[in-house]
Amino acid sequence: MSVSAADIDFALELFDGLGPLTHRKMMGGLCLYSDGTIFAILHSDASLWLKGAGDWADHMTAECWELWTYSRDGKKTTAMPYWRLPDAALDDPDEACRLARAALACL
């Protein structure tokens, strides 16, 4: 399954306040970049995930954001450095951009 054009448009509009963004389909979804740095992934189920590192990853963990994990064919579960964007930010572009800027500051 791939991301829909409507979902891509939504994500780009949500993060429009960050300035010019680029994107690229990969990892079964769409990677979003600001100034060449990946900061978010849009999954094919339309969920948005922010990349985390350092203090920002610690913050998202402390706030109990959902961490992206996966497992293949009975192998151990692997965690990726992405946390699901809170639902409240999906309805608030200013909040989504604030969170994305915090993520970008730690990458």
Residue 48 is encoded by which pair of tokens?
Answer: 């948005």
pTM value is 0.92
Distance CA 99, CA 4 (A): 24
- The CA–CA distances, whole Å, from 94 to 4, 18, 49, 71 equal 23, 10, 16, 34
Q: What is the pLDDT of residue 1?
A: 64
Total count of domains within the chain:
1
Q: What is the pLDDT of residue 28?
A: 78
Read off the pLDDT of each residue in 6-14 and give the average, rounded to a whole number: 96
CATH number of 93's domain: 3.30.1460.30
pLDDT in tens, 59-86: 999 999 999 998 888 889 999 999 999 9
Domain that holds residue 24: 5-105
